[in-house]
Chains A and B, each alone.
Chain A
C-alpha cells in the first residue's frame, strides 16, 4: 500500500536560519508531489508541485524553494527563514486522478 512520510512533525527555528523539510512516498512510482502551507484555521496554499524528478513548478514567489532529487522524495527549503514563514506545511502526492494523499504535516514556528 502507498504511504507518505513527512518530518519533522514540529519545528521551532529562529529568524534567519535555514530550513529543510523532507517528504517521501512509498508504494507508488512517478507520483505528482505537492507542498502546501496552511495558516492557522485557514485554507491550503499551494507552494510547489512536481510532475517528475528535477521538475518543480512554483506557485508563490517567496524565499522558499523545492527540489525533487529522487522520484519519491520532495524537499522544501529556505536559506533564511522569516517570521511570516510560520505555518503548517503539508506534503501530498497524487497519481491517476484519484485525489491527493496528504502527509501528517509539519508545524513550523519561526521565532
Chain B
C-alpha cells in the first residue's frame, strides 16, 4: 500500500523566498501532522489537521502557514525564508478514528536555504 507521499523531496531556496511543501496522506487517514527536523535535532512538531481543520499547533513560525484540502492532502507554505529554516520537513498521517493514534511518516522534504 502506498505510504505518505511528500513533494518535493529536495528544495533549494534563497533567503526571503517562499516555498511550498506538499503531503499526501495514506488513504482514509484523517489526520496530518507536520514536523521540522533540523540537522542533528529531534523532530519538532509544527502543526496538525484533523478532518481539514487545524487541530493542534506547535512551534510553527508566523511566517509559515498550512492547510488541509478536501482530498486530505496538506500543504505547508513558508515565506520570508531564513537560513535557519533549512531542515528536513516530515509529514505524517494517522487515522484518529481507530482510537490508536499511530503516525506513519513520509520520506521528508529537505529544504536548503542559501
Partners in one complex: no
